Structure 1
Amino acid sequence: MRIRRITAVLALTALSLVVAAPATAATPARATPAGHGDLRRDLGAIVDAGATAALAEVADRSGTRRAAAGVAQLGRPAPAPTGGRFRIGSVSKTFLATVILQLEAERRLRLDDTVQRWLPGVVPGGDRITLRQLLNHTSGLYDYTDALDLSPQGWLAQRFRSWEPAELVALATAQPPLFAPGTDWSYSNTNYVLLGMVVETVTGNDHAAEIQRRIIGPLGLRQTESPGEKASITGPHAHGYLPVGPQGAQKPVDVTRMNPSVADAAGDMISSTADLNTFFAALLGGRLLPPAQLAAMTTMVPGHDYGLGLERTPLSCGVTLYGHGGGIFGYATGSFHTRDGSRRLSLSINPYQGDFDPALETLIDRVFCPAG
């Protein structure tokens, strides 16, 4: 499997909010299913390659294995917590997409409703953009994160700023559309900020409350939340860092505390590897959506491995994975699952410097590509 596109994105998203399309297939290394020792070793290789911490949970028919490598905080000896919490970035999109599809199943909205129908006057040309096009990134809307100064220095100066969803959307709509709705594909966080606003219009509750009521509570995801403007990560967690300063003399700056409203419904959530595996198992197992809505979610845009808030990753060993990746300052997340739920991998990496592509490739091969 070639995982380089995923890991390049994970590394970059430590400095942004965007996770792009999933990896394309190539030749995997032969491997055996990851046991506890293998998992610790492979996470250690990720840390050796330049991350400050890495943690993962693998679940399959033989049981569940968790491991961690690295330190919880630079300059201190405490190891990274195996069951720690972390910012999940764009993996939040799958939670929000699930709520939208539940509302469709309840006939409270239709995927072919226009943005103008639910958010009148918010988006120029919103009468030509559907909710489905927001979900699968075919709206053509400019990504508001491209209008932000996301350099370390630029972002650190405003890391605690509060953002309203309408402000984020205005950054995007100040730019011309990338293409006519439905004619192409381009990942845009703006789409999911708008979907969060739609949820509030339809239900009278903000996206965080509906995710809590419909998903987090029923599944007992005790380590998962949409934190709003809360800056801290509570409970055990590994810290995230950015390299700041001139090349060759960079110093790590702890960016664990931040105001996540800059990500809003597109990527503000906090979770754990265990909770993510539980969520995706329930989702792909049909516990959260009726068959028609789950089928729609897993239907990919032609020519792209993206459905309705769900990414598909085909491996050359014949396995196809579903899930989502995510990144936000100091944190990179991947959640990968076979369609039948027989194997699940969720992991968090705290990138700093270096290239952990080969180590992550080995880990994913070991979990999903059997030896032969």
Structure 2
Amino acid sequence: MKWKRGVPLVVAGLLVACTPARPAAQVSPDPVVGSLTDYVDQAVAAERFRGAVEVRDGPKVLLRRGFGRANPQTRVPNGPNTRFRIASVTKQFTALAVLVLQEQGRLNVADGVCAYLTSCPPQWAPITIDELLAHTSGIHDYGAGFGSIEQFFASIGTREPSPEQLTQLFAGLPLDFPPSTKWSYSNSGYVVLGLLIERVSGKSYGDFLHDEVLDPLGMSDTGYQPGLAPSDEYAVGYSNWTTQAPVFDDSVYYSAGGMYSTVRDLGRWQQFLLHGDTSVVQAGTVAALLRPRVAANPGTWYGYGIASRGASIDAVTSYGHTGNIAGFNSYTEIRPATGVTVTVLANINFGIDEFGRELAELVPKQR
């Protein structure tokens, strides 16, 4: 805009300053957001929860923030971009990585796992990749049978095991049951899947995840990188409000539970699961990941790295998973009928399943 000659700029400024300001539009606070925030604040005040939460109603973010401290000693706060260990929520990423290899024509989940491993125990000969994904392989869970974590480390001779060293813990054991005769949660099966991904792809587990899944989805704060040094980007885990949990390298959990992420990134992941993205994988690949396959517990079914709840296997109302390792709990839930998604990452051990479900219930079914 050009000013006419003889009109001082200062006068124009005074005119603007003296013009009565219009009252700001009053925006009514969303009562659902208030209810969600109050619920989490109460858990923090009761010294039950510290971590980060994201709740979405469809594409709309209702709540995305940190609560409490990422590191109580240095007083670094938790936030939407704080990186937490996500424990067994890792399994859905491992499962998708396997399905990506299938989409690329490099394996088939109906194949026997021994077709892809250089050294395979004879008792694994009848096990298919599908059975590893669905926890019906019968392979003994490597986390069971040790009286203490120190016994676990002594048995493998290192605190930073390789995938092969983890596999040696259970490769010589008999199967707990014949494949596909029952369901039993097995971290060991997902360790074998991580090794399978490395053998078939020619890349490390972490690199394949980054290149084929995380980077295409823009999940820059998610990954698997064992041996990371502590930093303010990462939350410090606590067993309870005042007791810091022992720290174990992510290689101990590997492809069964060794990833880190943020609520912002996992919120993006949940939108991907809800709506798909054909620039990353085909729609049928996401459908295969989510499809309930075997009864796990009453009212709960298991697919590939993801559990589902509902009245029957054909009437699923939610998908999700929880995770639990020393000092960290994780929770993800998708309600496909309403588009509600919940992500909770905690750097304290507590009853996260009930906590996460209540957050989902606080979002009305009709908005």
Interval containing the TM-score (normalised by the shorter chain): 0.7 to 0.9
Match of 2:128 among 112, 117, 130: 130
* CA distances 1:257-312 after superposition (whole Å, capped 9, x unpaired): 53110001111111001101111221332224323333322222332311012211
Map of 1:161 onto structure 2: 159
Check if 1:57 corresponds to 2:48. no
* CA distances 1:81-107 after superposition (whole Å, capped 9, x unpaired): 343110001111111111111111121
Unaligned runs of 5+ in 1: 1-32, 244-249
Map of 1:362 onto structure 2: 358
1:147–1:172 CA contact under 8 A, matched in 2: no
**Which residues of 2 match residues 20-99 of structure 1 at below 5 A?**
35-61=32-58, 63-64=60-61, 65-74=63-72, 77-99=75-97
Q: Alignment RMSD, CA only? A: 3.1
* Normalised TM-score (structure 2): 0.79
CA–CA separation in structure 2 for the residues paired with 1:186 and 1:315: 21
Map of 1:6 onto structure 2: none
Change (3 A) 1:205 1:149: farther
* CA distances 1:139-192 after superposition (whole Å, capped 9, x unpaired): 0100001144456x7689999811111221221234321110111111101111
CA–CA separation in structure 2 for the residues paired with 1:264 and 1:109: 21
**Which residues of 2 match residues 1-372 of structure 1 at below 5 A?**
35-61=32-58, 63-64=60-61, 65-74=63-72, 77-150=75-148, 161-232=159-230, 234-242=231-239, 252-255=243-246, 257-287=247-277, 288-304=280-296, 305-314=301-310, 320-339=317-336, 342-352=339-349, 359-367=355-363, 370=365
1:184 counterpart SS class: coil
Change (3 A) 1:216 1:45: same
1:39–1:67 CA contact under 8 A, matched in 2: no
Shift of 1:123: 3.0
Shift of 1:36: 3.6
CA–CA separation in structure 2 for the residues paired with 1:360 and 1:99: 26
* CA distances 1:30-49 after superposition (whole Å, capped 9, x unpaired): xxx97443232222233344
CA–CA separation in structure 2 for the residues paired with 1:134 and 1:156: 25
CA–CA separation in structure 2 for the residues paired with 1:34 and 1:104: 45
Percent identity between matched residues is: 29
Residue identity opposite 2:37 in structure 1: R
Unaligned runs of 5+ in 2: 1-29
* CA distances 1:37-77 after superposition (whole Å, capped 9, x unpaired): 32322222333444351310112247212133223333565
CA–CA separation in structure 2 for the residues paired with 1:319 and 1:135: 19
Map of 1:21 onto structure 2: none
Change (3 A) 1:237 1:122: same
1:43–1:55 CA contact under 8 A, matched in 2: no
1:306–1:312 CA contact under 8 A, matched in 2: yes
CA–CA separation in structure 1 for the residues paired with 2:85 and 2:236: 10
Change (3 A) 1:118 1:160: closer
Residue identity opposite 1:308 in structure 2: Y
CA–CA separation in structure 2 for the residues paired with 1:215 and 1:356: 27
Shift of 1:254: 4.5
2:167–2:191 CA contact under 8 A, matched in 1: yes
| Bigger radius of gyration | 2
1:111–1:130 CA contact under 8 A, matched in 2: yes
CA–CA separation in structure 2 for the residues paired with 1:45 and 1:237: 24
Shift of 1:108: 0.8
Change (3 A) 1:171 1:49: farther
